[in-house]
Structure 1
């Protein structure tokens, strides 16, 4: 095999590779012979199919597979010989036909940058610590009770926290002219007073009112109001209170506990399970906070490194596709990949730097940590064993999980070698996105 290399830019390379044609032909013959022994064709006895028939039926496919494998293997050998680290799959150009006893192809690709030693000892990292207290367990149990509350009629005036069912109409005028919503009659809606989900103005007007009362209020509707005809407008609202309901929380008894799959152990087992879930969530959030802190500082100190443009473009396209999918579900439009280039560049820089630190310091993927992470993630589902099986069968899912674990390992390694200041936060503070 003959290899020549050409620099097309800071990170762009072009390899020209020549492989002896007889190597290719011998592989084609071997594959065709294997096909002849194993294939079954109507009208021919096994192993007795004429070579011309094998060539006619399977030759193009075999030759295509052989040339692809030959290029893949020789390319990997060539980049290894030249000490190159391709950032992405190469762009291959070849006729695939032997010429002058050789098969020639060119491969254009970008390489990962040569960063050199990365001194993480100078990074100043803030590491958040936290723990789950009894009060946090109590608060979560109250949240679970609230999620299973019942609404019962209240024969009194409406108070904050009550569910109010009412009818309303809004009308006004602005630079676009007069308007009314709905055009005729009244809309019937429900809201929890004090939640702000229906606008504070209407909810405040309904407080201390009883079923059958009619109220009016001048309301400034927010720009994201559910009714586009009223969004961002001021209107005179007339509302009639139809029904008031108050919430009734369930007792933390055996029936309540069994709803969470706990048949034995009572309140103590229930509290232990709640604490375990909170601790798992907290562990994940603290890990995410540390990774964000470490990667952010790492990228900031290496802001000028050259990065493969192909990786940035691919990341920007992926981010744009994800945003478009979410926007499509909400009936909205999003910008194209160009709007995500800055975020994409930071992500690529993070991946390159994390990968270089792992390579330079011989940080290997901890398979036990992968298994623990998968088990923890799967435990949030009703059938965790099926989730584990799904990941084990899907190389793409497992690859993503392994990448996240490796990032966590590198973040932990950096934190062990950087200048770290610990900051203790309460559970609630720690769980808020940073």
Structure 2
């Protein structure tokens, strides 16, 4: 029996596994005798089926099980003796020129690569930073006001006024109208509706539609042409021009709540103190900015590590990750209510680039963590859980929730390890700081 490991390329290896047929047969016979004690067949009491009949029916299945067990064990013993770090699962194939007295298989597999981390001091990283001031707090307050908007009919007096003397539809107004659209003189599916409401300026409707409705008063009618974009979601009308007629039935102007004690209480500030309200908003914005800056820094660090590292990527691990991404996509489709999502034909090839990056990054990070002892310490994990829990109403319950589940705690541990890696790389690399507004920061993280 030869246990020599053959080098087939950068990471691919092969080893021949031989099993004496008499040893295998002895194990097969033993398992069949054990099986015969409980096997059931019509016309026989349990345990009384003739051994010959049991052998005829089950010998093929038992032989396959014995070979799988023994080949797997011998491969494990060989890889351990040779100190091999096997990546993924080996592939076994029968060897054609085996001796008559042996079963022989070629085991083909990949090993983990040597990872050369590169010189982190040469990495260049642009770190984004922002400052939260009164302007950012005011913008957030304006967003919160708009989220609490309510509407009043234009021209009708109420506790908040009548919206002004001009009763024509303006940006921000909610307009209710009837519309009919025709292409080549024919009404098309989805091209007409009654009592259809939308807010001008929100971009829900195509620009020509919003422009046509703007300036009309209740009872006003307008005809106009509307060209559907080539990439419009309705394929029957994409790229075509329709003639629309709209009739306005209701116009409502937006009333935003005043920023006062009642508004503060609606945000959870029990005593309605405006100073406390602004302080809480600032804390939340700073927490969000920190999270976004960390996300951008992490992306920059990971890109830098991949750029300077040298390693070959095991195909077996890439294929495993591709399949995992396919399954995640299927689960996502199922959650969205897509029918037959479990059988959706999703080609693994579409995830190859993403999987290669993920596998490569995982190998680089593992090597970096080991080389520089960047593992997560228990006190780091607890500090991160405490920080995360701050934004919830009952922080103690959130902490308990994390520590009651090993998987959730492992996710937090992985997050802390990544943070350790980022801090370590930023302390060694060439870092330049770039000041941005909070809006620019939010935009950058949305695109990342």
Is TM (by shorter chain) over 0.5? yes
Match of 1:153 in 2: 153
CA 226–179 in structure 1, closer or farther in 2 if over 3 Å, else same: farther
Which sections of structure 2, spanning at least 5 residues, go unmatched? 24-64, 94-104, 156-166
- In the alignment of these two chains, the number of paired residues is 392
User: TM-score, normalising length from structure 1?
Assistant: 0.74
Match of 1:26 in 2: none
Please state how far the C-alpha of 1:372 moved relative to its aligned partner. Answer: 3.3
Q: Indicate conservation of the 8 Å contact 1:169/1:182, yes or no.
A: no
Match of 2:312 in 1: 306
Match of 1:358 among 361, 369, 374: 369
Deviations 1:154-186 (A, max 9, x none): 12110111111111111114xxxx752347963
Q: Indicate conservation of the 8 Å contact 1:118/1:357, yes or no.
A: no
Match of 1:285 in 2: 292
CA 285–172 in structure 1, closer or farther in 2 if over 3 Å, else same: same
Q: Secondary structure at the match of 2:275?
A: helix
Match of 2:98 in 1: none
User: TM-score, normalising length from structure 2?
Assistant: 0.72
Q: Secondary structure at the match of 1:145?
A: helix
Distance 1:83 1:110 in 2: 13
Match of 1:40 in 2: none
Deviations 1:225-276 (A, max 9, x none): 5655444432111111121111111122333222333213611221111111
Q: Indicate conservation of the 8 Å contact 1:324/1:334, yes or no.
A: no
Q: How does 1:33-432 map to 2 (within 5 A)?
A: 82-88=82-88, 110-155=110-155, 156-173=167-184, 179-182=186-189, 186-222=193-229, 225=232, 229-264=236-271, 266-302=273-309, 305-326=311-332, 329=336, 335-432=346-443
Q: Secondary structure at the match of 1:196?
A: coil
Please state how far the C-alpha of 1:106 moved relative to its aligned partner. Answer: 10
Answer with 1 or 2: which has the greater Rg: 2
Distance 1:86 1:384 in 2: 43
Which sections of structure 1, spanning at least 5 residues, go unmatched? 22-63, 94-104
Deviations 1:409-431 (A, max 9, x none): 11221111111111111111112
Distance 2:148 2:238 in 1: 32
Q: Secondary structure at the match of 1:264?
A: coil
Please state how far the C-alpha of 1:307 moved relative to its aligned partner. Answer: 0.7
Q: Indicate conservation of the 8 Å contact 2:177/2:197, yes or no.
A: yes
Deviations 1:1-41 (A, max 9, x none): xx8755555334568999xx9xxxxxxxxxxxxxxxxxxxx
Please state how far the C-alpha of 1:337 moved relative to its aligned partner. Answer: 1.5
Q: Indicate conservation of the 8 Å contact 2:257/2:263, yes or no.
A: yes
